[in-house]
Structure 1
Amino acid sequence: MKLSDDAQGLVSKRSSMTLFSDNTSHYSHRVRIVLAEKGVTVDMITSDSGNPPAELGDLNPYNSMPTLVDRDLVLFESKVMMEYLDERFPHPPLLPVYPVARAESRQLMHRIERDWCALVDAIQNSRSDNVVSKSVKELRDGIVSIAPIFNEKPFFMSEEFTLVDCCIAPILWRLPSLGVDIRPSKQSKPLMNYMDSMFNREAFQESLSDQEQELR
């Protein structure tokens, strides 16, 4: 899809990579984690979903965040951004080298999107108390059910930190603010250890907005 003349003008004025980022969105947060892991310097334009920057509508037909601008390229889907950044800045790699393993990682991200992100969005956006309470329970049960897998590998079904972890960590960070209480137990201990490991990563700490820091 061709950019409008106004959008092309805005893009041409930007000499460096720019991220339009929602201060509280887990979708924006996952992209910020990738940027921090890669050590990429970007112009960060932060806002919230209710008050997007005026120029965003000329760049992104959905007027949504995150939106990544790199020269004449404009991306407005978080998983596409993450994979683009991983290919554009290959070190450290955040997807496996081999095609089968890469496909498995992509499928895991898709499942997180369908199973967990949809519930997070329902909790944050629904006006129905029944929908919210049901979503909270489903999210808590879903997260606790996968806790034992962290006994097997240090990261999410991987020996290395990947884009899958970048998708999961922002959700886990937000659990208290979502009303999801994961109680310490023998079953949840591997998950708790994983969360501590993720949250203590230097890149994760760098990725947090001021608003996100206050969520815990």
Structure 2
Amino acid sequence: MARLYHVPLSPFCRKVRLVLAEKRIECELVEERYWERDADFLRRNPGGKVPVLRIDGQTMAESAAICEYLDERHPEPPLMPKGAEARYEVRRLVGWFDDKFHHEVTARLLYERVNKKIMKQGFPDSRNVKDGARAIKFHLDYMAWLLDHRRWLAGDAMTMADFAAAAHLSALDYISDVDWHRSEAVKDWYAKIKSRPAFRGILADQVPGFPPPAHYADLDF
């Protein structure tokens, strides 16, 4: 059985968990307090980050690389399109959410509100929180624009781009930091992806000291 070293609210770990579940790959989840710099964990990934996946006799790091590996090794159902241009668009959007969205929103909201407390690094920086709350509006509007032109974020089929976005938004939704009233298109998209069987494990997450809002696991909001 595969083994994933993860943190429940990490969007990068959630993205890998979604891909594993969508591919119906059985996986043992092991919570890893990576900030404690455990020697065994650092041997698995000298970069000191999660997720780390143990599968097929290999130890893998970096969520985007892991997800593409899983899609190539387990091609059904496909999460990457066939054409070069379509694959580019998926990779562009995965990069958008894992880089731009992460730095402008996730790191300023989730990391300030939750990670700092768990890691005992002090109190949230109010300026970062305000900046993150302002930035997420731009990103939700961008998603709404994409969904006005497409069925899913990267095209007519669900792809890795949707899982990347949903991983970040689900983590933020856990702490009630997503305004679902801002765009019906985005809300409908999230309801559709949230209803997939692959999402059940994500919706069952419970982080001690941080109870989720009532709507978090409600498929109809």
**1:123 pairs with 109, 120, 125, which one?**
109
Judged with a 3 Å threshold, the aligned counterparts in structure 2 of structure 1 residues 66 and 97 are, in CA distance, closer, same or farther, namely: same
* TM-score, scaled to structure 1: 0.81
* TM-score, scaled to structure 2: 0.79
Q: Give per-residue Cα distances to partners, 1:134-193, cap 9 Å, x unaligned.
A: 1221112321343143233331132111100110112222334455342526xx111111
SS at match of 1:45: strand
The Cα of 1:44 is off from its aligned counterpart by 2.2
| 8 Å CA contact 2:154, 2:161 repeated in 1 | no
**2:86 pairs with 79, 90, 101, which one?**
101
SS at match of 2:206: helix
Does residue 210 of structure 1 match 2:199? no
Percent sequence identity over aligned pairs: 23
Does residue 197 of structure 1 match 2:192? yes
One-letter code aligned to 1:138: A
What residue is the counterpart of 2:119 in the other structure? Answer: none
Provide the rounded CA distance (Å) in 2 between the counterparts of 1:103 and 1:60. Answer: 28
Provide the rounded CA distance (Å) in 2 between the counterparts of 1:48 and 1:208. Answer: 21
SS at match of 2:5: strand
**2:141 pairs with 139, 144, 153, which one?**
144
Judged with a 3 Å threshold, the aligned counterparts in structure 2 of structure 1 residues 50 and 19 are, in CA distance, closer, same or farther, namely: same
| 8 Å CA contact 2:175, 2:212 repeated in 1 | no
State the Cα RMSD in Å.
Answer: 2.4
What residue is the counterpart of 2:177 in the other structure? Answer: 180
Provide the rounded CA distance (Å) in 1 between the counterparts of 2:33 and 2:194. Answer: 23
- State how 1:11-22 maps to structure 2 within 5 Å: 16-22=1-7
One-letter code aligned to 1:201: R
| 8 Å CA contact 1:23, 1:46 repeated in 2 | yes
Provide the rounded CA distance (Å) in 1 between the counterparts of 2:55 and 2:171. Answer: 29
The Cα of 1:43 is off from its aligned counterpart by 2.6
Size of the aligned set, in residue pairs, is 199
Judged with a 3 Å threshold, the aligned counterparts in structure 2 of structure 1 residues 96 and 145 are, in CA distance, closer, same or farther, namely: closer
SS at match of 1:105: helix
SS at match of 2:59: strand
Provide the rounded CA distance (Å) in 1 between the counterparts of 2:41 and 2:189. Answer: 36
Name structure 2 gaps, 5 residues minimum. Answer: 113-123, 217-221
The Cα of 1:52 is off from its aligned counterpart by 7.1
Q: Give per-residue Cα distances to partners, 1:62-82, cap 9 Å, x unaligned.
A: 232110122442221010110
| 8 Å CA contact 1:95, 1:162 repeated in 2 | yes
